[in-house]
Amino acid sequence: MSTDTASTGAASTKDGADPSLTVRDNRTGTEYDVPVTDGTVRASDLAKIRIDDEPGIAVYDPGFVNTASCRSAITYIDGDKGILEYRGYPIEQLAEKSNYLEVAYLLVHGELPTHQQYDTWEHQVTFHTFVHENVKSFMEGFRYDAHPMGMLLASVGALSTFYPESRNISDANIRQMQIVRLIAKMPTLGAWAFRHAQGKPYVYPDNDLGYAANFLSMLFKMSEQRFEADERLIKALEVLFILHADHEQNCSTNAVRSVGSSQVDPYSATSAGIAALFGPLHGGANEAVLKMLRRIGSLDKVPEFIDGVKNGNERLMGFGHRVYKNFDPRATIIKKACDDVFEVTGVNPLLKIAVELEKVALEDEYFVTRKLYPNVDFYSGLIYEALRFPPEMFTVLFAIPRTSGWLAQWLELTEDSEQKIARPKQIYTGKRDLDYVPFADRG
């Protein structure tokens, strides 16, 4: 038996100095010391475990269930304890005391801004809310019933053609400029996608309003001089934006990082994030929750629906999470925000069905043993509907605030010397060495 060090320069752990794994390859009897850093082993160290010229050992992990793809200092989650922190600050404090633009600054820059830094940031973002008129014509070209997420995805991608300098991602000033532009323009594009479906004229930004108030104005203003949204609704939207701003390496963030790793411009990388968010297992879940609640229709249908879920007919949308296995702290805050919004708008009648579903599920062995709890999407759709948004808009309302998180993660990626172009391995299971068969000879 021989012992190899599977990592360059890492010593054996026998003296207890450096944590490591001893891996014994039973095919050859060789033992390897694989260094453990931050609770992980490097896949490249495992690749050193090999027989002759065969490929080294790789990790098979569909869905990245147990694979870290980066080191990140942006968002911390402890799924068992229900902890979510941005740059070390608990989500509960940020939701209560901060506003979305300040949180966006925190995510992107890593620190809470000073007063002066905040004023400059707010001014910059506000100054860039307008888009080129050709973007408007571009959006007007969509079919009358285009899904607003499809419109958002395409128009964010199209922005790269308006800012060709954005391709120079090695310039820090250019990077910052695009981050400001994207955070500034997302509400404009999102609101216009909404107006489009309604056949209403697009409303230009009102730069005397705050971020959320301006968004509400672009969504709902008609002929009045200024759209005055209820302060409680503005606050609720700010809270929802804060809760959705980042969530470490989720599907869409991974898409942004993966596409961004090719060193493409940030508009293209962000549109990849929007595409990933569109899916019903990710940001599209809140739209699916509303459709599900409407389909259930009344309280007496809840048990039958739950039985269908347990029989594997469908999923209880808005339940379960890859990381949270106790509770989703965002869901707790949103449930409280529901009360504030319903005070202004009146109670959404679907709330009763949602509350009953939650009660039944939380007492049911199927959901308890699988650790399935309400996630951020379970109650957010009820608020959005009370705010007069159609379900198709819900994911847009997720994409707008998530843009700051995507860009913080993208920035971290561009500044991380360890990052490489994303290129997973595969286990090839197909045929090999076939000879081409002409049409005439094919069965």
| Positions marked active-site | 282, 321, 377
The minimum distance between CB 432 and ligand CMC, in angstroms, equals 32
Sequence letter at residue 157: G
For 422-438, give one letter per residue: b (16+ CB within 10 A) or e.
eeeeeeeeeeeeeeeee
- Number of other CB atoms surrounding residue 364 within 10 Å: 18
- The answer to whether residue 82 forms part of the interface with ligand CMC (CB under 6 A) is no
Element (DSSP H or E) covering residue 23? strand 20-25
> What is the distance between the alpha carbons of residues 45 and 20, in angstroms, rounded to a whole number?
11
CA 178 to chain centre: 19
Taking CB under 6 A as the criterion, the residue among 376, 399, 400, 411 binding ligand CMC is: 376
Q: Does 316 bind ligand CMC (CB under 6 A)?
A: yes
CB of 116 to ligand CMC, least distance (A): 35
Which region among 3-11, 151-159, 207-215, 320-328 touches ligand CMC (by CB under 6 A)? 320-328
**Residue 86 burial by CB count (10 A; 0-12/13-18/19+): exposed, middle or buried?**
buried
Q: Provide the token pair at 400.
A: 């707008």
Nearer of residues 190 and 320 to ligand CMC, judged by Cβ: 320
* 247 binds ligand CMC per the rule CB under 6 A: yes
Examine residue 321 and tell whether it contacts ligand CMC (CB under 6 A).
Answer: yes
Q: Is 375 in the site for ligand CMC (CB under 6 A)?
A: yes
By CB under 6 A, residue 320 contacts ligand CMC: yes
Q: How many Cα atoms are found within 13 Å in the side-chain-facing hemisphere of 116?
A: 0
Residue 34 CB, nearest approach to ligand CMC (Å): 27
- Cβ proximity to ligand CMC, 138 vs 241, nearer residue: 241
Nearest to 186 by CA among 122, 125, 256: 125
Binder to ligand CMC among 318, 329, 381, 405 (CB under 6 A)? 318
Alpha helices in 251-328 (DSSP H): 251-260, 266-278, 285-296, 302-310
Residues 261-290 that bind ligand CMC (CB under 6 A): 281-283, 285
Q: What are the residues binding ligand CMC (CB under 6 A)?
A: 247, 250, 281-283, 285, 309, 315-322, 370, 372, 375-377
